[in-house]
Amino acid sequence: MCRLVLATVVALVFAGAARAAVPSPDARAFFVMNAATGEVLAGHNAHKSVPIASITKLMTVLVALKHLRPDDVVRVTGYAAQVGESRIPLHRGE
């Protein structure tokens, strides 16, 4: 019985410590939200207006939104998956 109580106390102490650990990214502003539930997970200066990181990223999204519907599926080609400049981990067939 004593071991069960001790194990429970230890588990609760470590669970609380793990939950309290909040990452501190090196950014002027950020906002993280669960898209499925709308729950705000983290944020720092979330309402602060900052310039976009890349005009290329913005234009890519605009072109995609213009030509695709939200339920469209786009397959990654072998060539696109081999592009070294991409920081998105693309794999053929995804």
Tell me how crowded residue 84 is: count the other CB atoms within 10 A of its CB: 5
User: Beta-strand (E) ranges in 1-94?
Assistant: 30-33, 40-44
Structurally, the chain folds into a number of domains equal to 1
pLDDT, position 37: 92
More confident residue, 47 or 16: 47
- pLDDT at position 29 over 70: yes
Residue type, 3: R
Measured CA to CA, the distance from residue 29 to residue 39 in angstroms comes to 18
Domain that holds residue 73: 51-93
Q: Is residue 60 part of a domain?
A: yes
DSSP lists the bridge partners of residue 40 as 33
- In a domain? residue 80: yes
In the numeric block, which tokens belong to residue 6?
A: 């001790």
Using only the alpha carbons of the chain, give its radius of gyration: 21
Residue 30 has pLDDT above 60, yes or no: yes
From 63, 31, 25, select the one nearest 46 (Cα to Cα).
31
- 39 pLDDT higher than 70: yes
Give yes or no for residue 31 having a pLDDT over 60: yes
The answer to the question of residue 56 being in a domain is yes
Domain membership flag for residue 74: yes
Tens of pLDDT along 50-69?
887 788 888 888 998 899 98
Statement: the pTM of the whole predicted model exceeds 0.85:
no
